[in-house]
Amino acid sequence: MTVAPRAPSADRAGDADSSERSREHRDREPEPPRFARGSDGRLIGGVASGLATYFGIQPLTVRIAFCVLSGISGFGVVLYAALWIFTPSADDVARQEENASPAGIAAASRAGRRWRSAGHPLSARRGDLGQLAAILLLGLGAFLILGQTPLGLRAEVAFPLLLTAVGLALVWRGIEHDERRATAHPERAPWLTAITEGGGWLAVLRLGAGVVIVVLGVGVFLMGQGQLAAMLDALAGIVVLLVGLGLIIGPWLWKLWRTADAERRERIVSQERADMAAHLHDSVLQTLALIQKQAHDPRAVVSLARRQERDLRSWLYGDQSGDEESSLAAALSTTGTEVEEDFGVPVEVVTVGDAPLDDLGRAIIQAAREAAVNAAKHSGAQKIDIYLEATEDGIDVFVRDRGSGFDPEQIPDDRLGVRHSIIDRMRRHGGSAQIRSEPDVGTEVRLTTMP
């Protein structure tokens, strides 16, 4: 019996399958954690929170360790500063991963579904400030206690070092905030971001305070070394030099800033015009072309015109009603659009106020839809009006038509659309439904709920 050798194509297919499996296995392997300065829960620079996340321990433990090391000849301060300078933040790492990821993941990241910058409520920030004060006092105690031993620093060195460290922390943290704002708004001048974005003049004051504290720390150190007079002479010369340079290049910098600001404004206007032209081409011109093709069908023309009107209103005035999955007003507007498209009868939806789309809100939407569908199918009206008024006292929804009308007392028992889908549904959810109708006048369905 002779065994036929396996075809080379089968070998290649098997190799391809094995390589594919190995590639999938590598993709499933978790990547090793990468050390980065923490963005959430940081007190100063995020070094301690980043180390705690990397090693899987509590941030407070790392902060206490830095305080103890700071009392040993200032080693903790130097180590913290070095890690702050040379370690990227968690936000920077997330941006790098986003840029290296496929387009779908990058889009999800930009939409805020993958990572977001730190943002703490007021109560959390107060707790952070209390812990920060405790950590600073602990570090000061470590300096004072270990300063009495050969491991510590003398008071004339330790105190200026602490001042300089505090000033540098203010400066570096301000620079990080400005860098993040400049990244979020690349079209703006980076050197003006501290004034025009986020913290405004408060950020400038914080930066200036940090510089003053650093200078004060250096001055105290030089005073202890008996070299303060020489430093003041050098500082006076530097101030005179800076004033002279300011008088020379100040007008040029002012003109440069004005030119950059004018170019930025022109670029914004140009982008807005381009967006408007693109939207008009994609929506209005395309709709007009469809209307020309279907000019023989009046109902199709009206439907296209109404759809374009809704699109333009939404584009011009923005979506004021929010997400249709959580907003009663948005869901009611969507309901009106669906009824209009299904039955070809114009539906005008007007909303005043809004409410969350909970179980009661969904019951209102379903009852209003049933009322609008009944009006579109049976009334013969040329238009249906839906009005929502949501206040703290309750919710009222009116569905009106100027059609044939009917006698509410003569509703047959088998007409479940009115009795079951509208009246009973509202009653089950703690609301009420009132129907007013007259033959040849029209019908009004009022859906009411109380808080």
Whichever domain contains 386, its CATH number is 3.30.565.10
pLDDT of residue 337: 85
- CA distance readout (Å), 326 to 323, 330, 412, 422: 6, 8, 36, 22
Domain carrying residue 367: 323-449
Q: Which of 265-274, 314-323, 382-391 has the lowest mean pLDDT?
A: 314-323
Q: Are 65 and 200 within one domain?
A: yes
The answer to whether the pTM exceeds 0.85 is: no
* Residue where a domain stops, chosen among 236, 263, 290: 263
Three-class secondary structure assignment of 8-60: HHHHHHHHHHHHHHHHHHHHHCCCCCCCCECCCCCCCCCHHHHHHHHHCCCHH
Task: Report the distance separating Cα 70 and Cα 153, nearest Å.
Answer: 10
- CA distance readout (Å), 126 to 58, 133, 225: 19, 11, 39
Q: Which of 4-13, 70-79, 151-160, 273-282 has the lowest mean pLDDT?
A: 4-13
At residue 386, does pLDDT exceed 90?
yes
* Residue where a domain stops, chosen among 263, 291, 306: 263
How many other C-beta atoms can be found within 10 angstroms of the C-beta atom of residue 181? 18
Task: Report the distance separating Cα 21 and Cα 29, nearest Å.
Answer: 12
Closest CA to 429 of 438, 421, 440, 437: 421
At residue 156, does pLDDT exceed 50?
yes
Averaged over 355-373, what is the pLDDT? Answer: 90
Q: Are 249 and 344 within one domain?
A: no
Q: Is residue 185 one of the residues assigned to a domain?
A: yes
At residue 19, does pLDDT exceed 60?
no
Q: Residue 397, exposed/middle/buried by CB under 10 A (0-12, 13-18, 19+)?
A: buried
Q: Strand, coil or helix: what is 401?
A: strand
If pLDDT is split at 50, 70 and 90, which confidence band does 389 have?
very high
Percentage of the chain modeled with pLDDT above 70? 66
Q: Are 182 and 55 within one domain?
A: yes
At residue 399, does pLDDT exceed 90?
yes
Query: Pairing between strand 384-391 and 347-352?
Result: parallel
Q: Is residue 294 one of the residues assigned to a domain?
A: no
Q: Are 219 and 328 within one domain?
A: no
Averaged over 410-429, what is the pLDDT? Answer: 78
Q: Is residue 292 one of the residues assigned to a domain?
A: no
Please indicate whether residue 221 or residue 364 has the higher confidence score (pLDDT): 364
Q: Is residue 211 one of the residues assigned to a domain?
A: yes
Averaged over 238-250, what is the pLDDT? Answer: 81
DSSP of 226-250? T-HHHHHHHHHHHHHHHHHHHHHHH
Q: Are 75 and 171 within one domain?
A: yes
Q: Are 241 and 371 within one domain?
A: no
At residue 109, does pLDDT exceed 60?
no
Q: Is residue 343 one of the residues assigned to a domain?
A: yes
Averaged over 218-236, what is the pLDDT? Answer: 70
Q: What token pair was written down for 358?
A: 């909970």
pLDDT of residue 179: 52
Q: Is residue 255 one of the residues assigned to a domain?
A: yes
Query: Pairing between strand 442-449 and 431-438?
Result: antiparallel
Q: Are 189 and 327 within one domain?
A: no
Q: Is residue 115 one of the residues assigned to a domain?
A: no
If pLDDT is split at 50, 70 and 90, which confidence band does 344 have?
confident
Q: Are 226 and 357 within one domain?
A: no
Percentage of the chain modeled with pLDDT above 90? 8
Averaged over 2-30, what is the pLDDT? Answer: 47
Return mean pLDDT, the chain: 73
Instruction: Let me know: does 377 contact 362? Beta carbons within 8 Å.
Output: no
If pLDDT is split at 50, 70 and 90, which confidence band does 124 have?
very low
Task: Report the distance separating Cα 418 and Cα 395, nearest Å.
Answer: 20
If pLDDT is split at 50, 70 and 90, which confidence band does 81 have?
confident
Q: Which of 41-50, 289-298, 401-410 has the lowest mean pLDDT?
A: 41-50
Q: Is residue 180 one of the residues assigned to a domain?
A: yes
Task: Report the distance separating Cα 451 and Cα 225, nearest Å.
Answer: 74
Q: What's the domain count of the chain?
A: 2
If pLDDT is split at 50, 70 and 90, which confidence band does 233 have?
confident
pLDDT of residue 147: 64
pLDDT tens profile 280-312: 777 777 778 878 888 888 877 877 787 787 777
At residue 444, does pLDDT exceed 90?
yes
Q: Are 242 and 338 within one domain?
A: no
Q: Are 250 and 165 within one domain?
A: yes
Task: Report the distance separating Cα 328 and Cα 326, nearest Å.
Answer: 7
* Residue where a domain stops, chosen among 263, 283, 311: 263
Please indicate whether residue 95 or residue 266 has the higher confidence score (pLDDT): 266
Q: Are 66 and 183 within one domain?
A: yes
pLDDT of residue 395: 93
At residue 190, does pLDDT exceed 50?
no
Q: Using the 8-state DSSP alphabet, how is residue 327 labeled?
A: B
If pLDDT is split at 50, 70 and 90, which confidence band does 231 have?
low
Q: Are 83 and 231 within one domain?
A: yes
Return the CA Rg of the chain. Answer: 35
Instruction: Let me know: does 337 contact 324? Beta carbons within 8 Å.
Output: no
Task: Report the distance separating Cα 1 and Cα 146, nearest Å.
Answer: 89
